[in-house]
Amino acid sequence: MFTFTIRRLTLAVPTLLFISLVIFLLLQLAPGDPMAQVPLTVPPEVKQKMREALGLGEPMHVQYLKWLRQFFWIEPLNLFDYMFGTGLAEGELRVISWQTRSPVVDIVVQRLPQTLWVVGMAYVVGILIALPIGIISAYKQYSMFDQVGTFVSMVGFSIPPFFSGVLVIVIFSVQLGWFPSIYDTTHVVNDWASFKVQLLQMFLPVMVLALQITAQISRFMRASMLDNLNQDYVRTARAKGARERVVVLVHVLRNSMIPVVTVIALGIPSIFGGAIITEQVFKVNGIGQLLITSIEANDLPMVQTLTFIFAILIVLFNLIADILYGVLDPRIRYD
């Protein structure tokens, strides 16, 4: 297992380098000019100088290598400096956002908590709802519960958050007035009352996202449970005289969790990616919102960095899912 992990991590390096090249080239080839927002009264020579100041005058491979150096060397050094108070990266140019002129990583670090709170909480809530639903609807296949569960999953799958988000805002904030429609990022939790406010403002976005996650994972759980419920070893367990609870929870559930855990692990990078639409609907100042505004403003370094961070997370969690699979299923060996 250890050698497998090391081998996979080593293999991840060329993969990530290739991804970084693809991202870089795609963004270079994409139309759009960072100077588009600059007023027309600014003469073209000045604009050209501004472009060169941003590093756009250099040949493409130089730009790429410079970005690589900044991302893989200078930014980690900065993080190291920040954590241990050293001065290793002093005087080096960091990846700077064209929009805000501040280091990209700093902005990401500012935005991440909001996203992790809202989207991460939605993921946890979604899983906690999905697993029991999946288990029960498989155990009582074609029952009323199963039919309702199937219907709700279908709704969750098919209604996009830009509709369900607006719908719950209309119902619960506008008509009923139970929850605020806007997520206030500046809200500070320091006592019981402010914690309650935080809960209230998180409720709607979390539920809108959780509906989708629940739909997906409960279907998966159900299919996996059904697959295992009909296996011969379940009949063996019953013939042994095991309690029904033991049969379902020990034999069937434990074996059904293998693919579900993998799916859950593979979904974690999407938490960091934020939920672009839902964040936009509820005005959550998170990563998804950051990405969409950067794309609109042609903020190449920001888009490039964010996309690449997502790529790293996806590669990493793929590896984690593979390792989990090996841990959970004794039939799979990685050596």
Partner 1 sequence: MLDDADRPLVSVRNLKMHFPIYGGLMRRRVGEVKAVDGISFEIFEGETLGLVGESGCGKSTVGRTILRLYEATAGDVIIDGKEIAHAEPEELRRMRPTMQMIFQDPQASLNPRMTVRDIVGEPLREHMALSNTELTDRVHQLMDQVGLNRDFADRYPHEFSGGQRQRIGIARALALNPKFIVCDEPIAALDVSIQAQVVNLLEELQDRLGLTYLFISHDLSMVRHIADRVAVMYLGQIAELAPRDALYEKPLHPYTEALLSAVPEPDPTIAAKTERIILTGDVPSPSNPPTGCNFSTRCPKVMDICTRETPTFREQEPGRFVACHLYNSEQTSAANAASEVNKSIQQGEET
Nearer to partner 1, 61 or 331 (CB): 331
Q: In the block, which residue shows the tokens 């241990």?
A: 84
Taking the least distance from each CB to partner 1, the nearer of 191 and 232 is 232
Chain contacts with partner 1 (rule: CB under 8 A): 142, 231-233, 235-244, 246, 251, 254-255, 328-331
Burial letters for 75-103: b for 16+ Cβ neighbours within 10 Å, e otherwise?
bebbeeeeeeeeeebeeeebbbbbbeeeb
Contacts of 123 (CB under 8 A, 6+ apart): 209, 210, 213, 267, 268, 271
CB 221 to partner 1: min, Å: 17
Closest distance to partner 1 from the beta carbon of 321 (Å): 18
Q: Which is nearer to partner 1, 255 or 280 (by Cβ)?
A: 255
Calpha distance 311→292 (Å, rounded): 17
- Among residues 218, 246, 248, 29, which one has the least CA distance to residue 127? 218
In whole angstroms, how close is the CB of 241 to partner 1 at the nearest point? 3
Dihedral sign for Cα atoms in the order 111, 114, 117, 118? negative
Nearer to partner 1, 86 or 236 (CB): 236
**Residue 330: what are its φ and ψ, rounded to 5°?**
-65, -15
Residues in the chain: 335
Would you give the distance in Å from CA 138 to the centre of its chain?
Answer: 28
The residue among 36 and 239 lying less far from partner 1, judged by its C-beta, is 239
Give the single-character DSSP code of 86: -
Closest separation between CB of residue 141 and partner 1, Å? Answer: 11
